[in-house]
């Protein structure tokens, strides 16, 4: 008698019982998930995550089991391409990103001063590697893997998607070299090539995602608007970042460098963080978090309001800041402060929309990262309205210590915590590993949160008790890097449990697209 499957039967059990059931799953967006043997998640989880009618799916699967057909699993580039991006992201955050940041932080600690002109090239190179290499590569890998499956289609031109990885890595490496050279023809040449490579990669990314969406017959979902807008901001920041590089590389003296940095650096970081990183995270969260963790739907849908608040407040922020700096007219502080208040508002509304503080019905080791990330989002965005009053209080006008603390709460507390949480949930599923059999990740979770909290508080305290604050602040970077290394090594090992094509460099396929 043929075994009947139910809602609690794992996908792996179903695939083992009937390999040709893969065809049914492929039609509903699970193509390649779990490697050769399928993910260890129950069928009801898959149906909820992919918005599939569970009863209809059970009917199709049981019909296939009654009359199975020969089936051989073949892993394609589209199935494993995410691993390349994730591994590259881990490698960058543990080297050019996190490690370099820790070294710079140690130099700041020893010099007992946040603003050290000699450190500017290293700090800018570190920031570039974190945005393009850490955040950018994880976003690209997740987009190439998950977006086609959420849209129940296949990735358009996987070989072209593969090319974007090499373009980004080449661009990041060249930009680091250009930043360290600072001035001269070599710096300008390497910087120009870097900008062109990264711009091309992002254009290709947008094309691939839009073409993939166009292949799908699934209806448009509001979360897609966030993703498309985030990719548009990703492209805009790449152009702005290139302009920022040339503005610094052609500065004639230190005074001009400081002025151009003050004028362009703040708007650039805001575009990168609130335009690209925040929008992509908000979009993915609305599609991923409620269904994966069983949070349910909000009583009132505020997606459109949140979307327009995020984009509108960013535009108001950029325009007001530039006008304030160029004119020196303090009247521009009013719309700037309004933009900060609106940013705090959208952060609060997003947390309410996602129901982050409701009880989850699907426990997982990754949930603590997701919830902590949104706590850090609230902390970071609630700090913004106090930025200018704090500057008045300290007599600085603009406190680099307070602004830097806010940025750290957002980048490490929110964005990095989300990367750790989402990847810790998704990668075991893709590798066919039961996450309940894995470590709890409490070690890196505690280390990262303590390090981030220490950095935020100590950076603010450099305005008040500099000797003590500067003496301790370097330790926080070591803690954060240790947490990222702890998590990164574990995630790398899980990815290696998947069915990986282990070819030598000489026999590996070319990264160039196949015509």
The Cα-based distances of 463 to 147, 398, 470, 507, 511 in angstroms read 45, 12, 10, 57, 50
Residues 291, 282: Cα–Cα separation, whole Å: 14
Residue 237: inside a domain: yes
Residues 49 and 103 in one domain: no
Residue 195: inside a domain: yes
State the pLDDT confidence band at 499, using cuts at 50, 70 and 90.
low
Tens of pLDDT along 23-74? 888 777 677 677 777 788 888 888 887 778 888 888 888 888 888 878 777 7
Tens of pLDDT along 158-172? 999 999 999 999 999
Residue 501: inside a domain: no
Would you state the structure tokens that stand for residue 477, as one six-digit string?
């970077």
Residues 35, 407: Cα–Cα separation, whole Å: 38
Residues 127 and 166 in one domain: yes
Task: Name the DSSP class of 42.
Answer: B
- Cα angle 389, 391, 395; round to 5: 120
Residue 513 has pLDDT above 90, yes or no: no
Residues 174 and 271 in one domain: yes
Residues 444, 419: Cα–Cα separation, whole Å: 13
pLDDT greater at residue 3 or residue 352: 352
Would you state the structure tokens that stand for residue 458, as one six-digit string?
């100590």
Residue 1: inside a domain: no
pLDDT greater at residue 508 or residue 445: 445
Residues 160 and 277 in one domain: yes
Would you state the structure tokens that stand for residue 245, as one six-digit string?
């590089």
Quote the pLDDT of residue 12: 84
State the pLDDT confidence band at 363, using cuts at 50, 70 and 90.
confident
Residue 399, SS3 per DSSP: coil
Would you state the structure tokens that stand for residue 58, as one six-digit string?
């059970």
Residue 322: inside a domain: no
Q: What is the pTM of this model?
A: 0.92
Q: Where in the sequence is the domain holding 112, given as residue range(s)?
A: 77-293+305-314+331-496
Residues 20 and 133 in one domain: no
State the pLDDT confidence band at 18, using cuts at 50, 70 and 90.
confident
Residues 280 and 349 in one domain: yes
Instruction: Tell me the pLDDT of the chain averaged across its residues.
Output: 90
> What's the structural domain count of the chain?
2
Q: What is the mean pLDDT of the segment spanning 267-290?
A: 95
Q: Of the candidates 309, 283, 160, 288, which has an alpha carbon nearest to the alpha carbon of residue 230?
A: 283
For residue 174, what is the domain's CATH number?
1.20.210.10
pLDDT above 90: percentage of residues in the chain: 63
Outline where 415-465 has alpha helix (H): 417-431, 442-461
Residues 181 and 284 in one domain: yes
State the pLDDT confidence band at 508, using cuts at 50, 70 and 90.
very low
Residues 55 and 89 in one domain: no
Residue 482 has pLDDT above 80, yes or no: yes
Residues 45 and 143 in one domain: no
> How many other C-beta atoms are found inside a 10 Å radius of the C-beta of residue 229?
19
Residue 385: inside a domain: yes
Residues 193 and 225 in one domain: yes
Residue 502: inside a domain: no
Residues 155 and 177 in one domain: yes
Residue 419: inside a domain: yes
Range scoring the smallest mean pLDDT among 45-54, 231-240, 501-510: 501-510
Residues 37 and 147 in one domain: no
**Cβ(373)–Cβ(417) under 8 Å?**
yes
């Amino acid at each position: 008698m043929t075994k009947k499957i139910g809602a609690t039967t794992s996908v792996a059990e179903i695939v083992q019982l009937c390999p040709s059931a893969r065809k049914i799953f492929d039609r509903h967006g699970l193509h390649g998930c779990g490697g050769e043997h399928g993910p260890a998640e129950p069928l009801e989880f898959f149906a909820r995550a992919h918005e599939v009618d569970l009863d209809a799916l059970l009917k199709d699967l049981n019909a296939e089991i009654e009359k199975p057909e020969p089936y051989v699993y073949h892993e394609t580039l589209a199935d494993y391409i995410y691993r390349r991006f994730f591994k590259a992201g881990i490698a960058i955050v543990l080297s050019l990103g996190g490690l370099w940041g820790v070294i710079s932080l140690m130099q700041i600690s020893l010099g007992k001063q946040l603003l050290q002109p000699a450190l500017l090239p290293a700090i800018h190179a570190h920031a570039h590697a974190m945005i393009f290499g850490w955040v950018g590569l994880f976003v690209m890998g997740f987009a190439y893997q998950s977006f086609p499956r959420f849209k129940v289609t296949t990735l358009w031109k996987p070989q072209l998607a593969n090319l974007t990885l090499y373009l980004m890595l080449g661009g990041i490496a060249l930009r680091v070299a250009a930043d360290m050279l600072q001035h001269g023809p070599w710096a300008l040449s390497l910087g120009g090539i870097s900008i062109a490579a990264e711009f091309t990669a992002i254009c290709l990314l947008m094309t691939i995602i839009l073409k993939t969406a166009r292949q799908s017959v699934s209806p448009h979902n509001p979360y897609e608007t966030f993703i498309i807008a985030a990719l548009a901001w990703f492209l805009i920041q790449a152009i702005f970042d290139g302009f920022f590089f040339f503005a610094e590389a052609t500065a004639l003296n230190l005074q001009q460098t400081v002025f151009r940095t003050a004028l362009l650096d703040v708007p650039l970081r805001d575009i990168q963080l609130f335009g690209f990183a925040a929008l992509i995270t908000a979009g993915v969260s609305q599609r991923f978090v409620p269904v994966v963790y069983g949070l349910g739907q909000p009583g009132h849908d505020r997606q459109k309001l949140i979307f327009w608040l995020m984009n509108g407040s960013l535009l108001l922020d950029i325009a007001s800041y530039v006008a304030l700096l160029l004119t020196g007219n303090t009247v521009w502080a009013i719309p700037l402060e309004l933009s900060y208040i609106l940013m705090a508002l959208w952060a609060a509304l997003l947390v309410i929309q996602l129901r982050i503080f409701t009880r989850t019905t699907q426990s997982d080791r990754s949930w603590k990262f997701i919830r902590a990330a949104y706590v850090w989002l609230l902390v970071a965005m609630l700090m913004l309205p106090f930025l200018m009053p704090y500057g008045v209080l300290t007599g600085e006008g603009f406190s680099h210590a307070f602004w830097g603390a806010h940025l750290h709460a957002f980048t490490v507390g929110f964005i990095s915590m989300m990367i750790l949480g989402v990847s810790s949930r998704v990668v075991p599923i893709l590798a066919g590993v039961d996450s309940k059999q894995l470590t709890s990740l409490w070690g890196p979770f505690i280390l990262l949160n303590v390090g981030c909290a220490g950095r935020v508080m100590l950076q603010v305290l450099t305005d008040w008790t500099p000797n003590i604050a500067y003496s301790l602040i370097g330790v926080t970077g070591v803690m954060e890097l240790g947490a990222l290394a702890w998590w990164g090594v574990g995630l790398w090992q899980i990815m290696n449990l998947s069915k990986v094509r282990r070819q030598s460099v000489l026999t590996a396929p070319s990264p160039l697209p196949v015509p």
